[in-house]
Structures are given as structure tokens and as C-alpha cells.
Amino acid sequence: MKGWQWILAISVLCALTSRAAPAATSAPTSPNPPKTVPVHLIVPVPEATPKALSFYRQSNVIWCIRTFGGLLVPLVFLFTGVSARMASTARGLGRLWYFSLVIYLAGFLAINFLISLPLDYYWGFHKVHQFGLSNQTFLKWFTDYLKNLLVSFCVAAAFLWCPYWLLKKFPRRWWIFTAAAAIPFMFFMALLKPVFVDPLFNTFGPMHNQALGQRILGLAEQAGIHGSRVYEVNKSVDTKTVNAYVTGFLGTKRIVLWDTLLTKLNDDEVLFVMGHEMGHFVLNHVVRGILFSSVLVLVALYGLQQTARELIRRFKLSWGFDELHDMASLPLIIFLVQLFSFVLTPIGLAYSRHIEHEADRFGLELTRNNYAAGTGFVKLSVENLSNPRPGPFFVIWRSSHPPIADRITFMNSYRPWERGEPLKYGDRIYGKSH
């Protein structure tokens, strides 16, 4: 597990960050709905190639190793007494409590960096090149790896003091206050990440295909998104895979398209992808997802509160501390957050798959181009070496999106406008004034 995930787990379950969807049903009202594609072609679900199946199986093995390591490494810090000795050294060097915490954090991240580097290199650089999914040079990979470490340290140094201060001041209710503090923290990070973090790794700019850009802006107007921001990012320096995503909050909200996606999908397929991402905007998934995540954070921190003190009572002599607010407890907090995160992951991912399905529905109702949507998912499956029909283990514990086979099947069948049925998001698409 990377340092970013290790530290932020205290206040937000990064793996569970997802976005919610409303359930209103309504009918279209505009006299000028988008043109329906006249052909009724069925897009077959592609079969996974032997190469894709090998990538799928190996990625599951790596996920299991990372999950097991995420639980084992903090225990090693605790039972070897390394954490207690690091905390003692940090207090001597830092003198003031905050600076001691920062020094401890720097040492913790440095050791975790050395532990995780071999596996991260093996899977994140060597294997993705072996599978033909990466364009990244080793220098670019390692530079980005160090940047990620630096960002992790800066974010943790800025915010880690808060839960520890709450632990000391409110030992019985700290978990409630920490979960409450996680909400503005997540909104703040969502606001800053597109502007200050993402540009550290890649170059973002306007779309090079201006004609397609104008079609996208027209689609955004139909969806009631005025003055929308669409960015193209040069991910081809890193990867051969394709993707697009929504990011940001308030003034930094934007839709980002990888240049690889724009190269490998045709214009109609890109427009459906944009319709899907616009669905996240219109349905307010970012805000709803943060609020949903805060509930999971509250549950995880409650479990931590109920468990940690009993563990400290039993193992305080081995661990070298007897209070949870001691900075030496950080590996214990991380271990318990990882444990409860594992338990809660199926809930978070099920919620994420639901809102991704609703974004697919919105994209179809906006573009009404089922064929382009289906062929787009076929290309996504091929280019990303996806398994269209993953097993239940993968879906429950790893998949934030519905399986490709399910999405293509939905693309083939969802045509309520042809049957005179109301559209679920019709008022959000056509009822807007232009």
C-alpha cells in the first residue's frame, strides 16, 4: 500500500470514496430531444483473451498480497518495538509535540517506502510493461513515485495532528469529532487536488480536437451544464490504457479525458463517455459520495475506538505505549482502519457500482446512441485488458464499476424512448432552459 493511502486512512477510507445517485423518475419535456440512432445493432460482449485473463489473475494475486501486507506491516512496527523507539527519538529531536509528530511521520513514511518499493516496482512498472500497458520510462515512473511520497508527507503533516489532538482532548468521543472533521477535509482535498496535485504528474490543457470539443460543449448545454470545463491530459506518456473521469469541487470541478481515449475511441463513443461523466456532474455524485464516505469513516472509527484500547491494554508492554494518543500508536490505527476498511469495502464498492450504472443510464438518455456506447465499452475492455465477466470475489472486493459484460448488455437493451416510456432523468436533461 502506498504512503498516501496509509496516512489518509485515518480520516478517510480512500478505497471507499464513491459517489451516490438520486432515484427520481420523470418524463422528457423538451421539443428537441437528441436524435435517436436509427440502427438497432446488438454489440456482442467480447470474450476475455488469454492475455487479459492472465492479467486479471495476476492482479488478484497482487491485490491479496497488498491487502495482507497492509495488515502485517503495521503489526511488525508494533511488536518489534520499532514504532515506540521511533516515537522516543522523534520526541527528543522535535521537542515540541507537533514537530515530534512530523519527524515520526517522516521516518514512518521512509520505512514504508522502502518496504513497498519492490512490489510497487514489480507490478506498477515491470509487469504493466510486460503486458504492453505502459509507455512510462523508469525515470518518469520513479519520479512520480517520489512525488507521490512527497504529497503524502505534506498532506499528512498538515492534517495528521487533528485526530491525535482530538484523541488527547476527547478520549471517548474523538471518533465522532474526527469523522465530522473528515467531511470538510475531503471537500478541501477535492477542491485542491485538480489544481495543485494532478498537474505535478501530467500536463492538462484544452482539447486538441476543437470540432469534437464543440460537440461536447453542445452536449453539456443539453445536460444543463453551462460553462463546463473539459480537459485533455497527456496520459500517453504513462500508459496505453484509456480512461476519463470527473474531479474537483466548486470552482475546480472538471471533466478530464485521457489523450489515449481520444485516440482510440471514435467521436460518437467519446460523446457517450462524456455523457456518462456529465451524469456524475448533474447527479451531484462527488458531493453525495463524500457524504456517503463520511458515514463509512464514522463506522470504521467507531470500530477502532471499541477495539484499540483493549488491544493496548493487552500488548502495551510489547508495544511500548499505553495510550492511543501516543504517536507510536499510528501503526495500530492504520492496522485497524485497514481491517475495518476491508470489511466495509463491499458496501462502498456496491454503492460505487450503483452510481456508475446510473451515470451510464444518464449518458444513454442524453446521447441515445446505444451502439456507440456498447462499442466504446468493447474498446475499453480490449485496451485495458479487462475481464468482461470477472468472478464474484473481484466484483465484491475490487470492482468500483459494473462488469463490462453487464454494461454492454444494458447498452443493448435500455431504450425507453422507443417504447414511449418516461426517462428517469428526462427533466434533468431536456427540461433545462437553453
Any idea which residues carry the catalytic annotation? 277
User: In 22-137, which ranges are continuous DSSP H helix?
Assistant: 50-79, 82-94, 97-121, 128-130
The answer to whether 261 and 216 have CB atoms below 8 angstroms apart is: no
Classified as helix, coil or strand, 244 is strand
Question: What does the alpha-carbon distance between residue 12 and residue 368 come to, in Å, rounded to a whole number?
Answer: 37
Alpha carbons 151 and 158: distance in angstroms, whole number: 11
DSSP reduced 3-state for 231: strand
What are the DSSP calls for 368-382, one per residue?
--HHHHHHHHHHHHH
Q: CA 66 to CA 89: how far, in whole Å? A: 29
Distance CA 264, CA 255 (A): 18
Between CA 86 and CA 328 the distance in angstroms is 7
Long-range contacts of 417-421 (CB under 8 A, 24+ apart): 417/28, 417/33, 417/36, 417/365, 417/368, 418/36
Give the residue carrying C-alpha cell 496520459: 235
Q: Tell me which H or E stretch contains 413.
A: helix 404-413
Euclidean distance between CA atoms 186 and 189, whole angstroms = 5
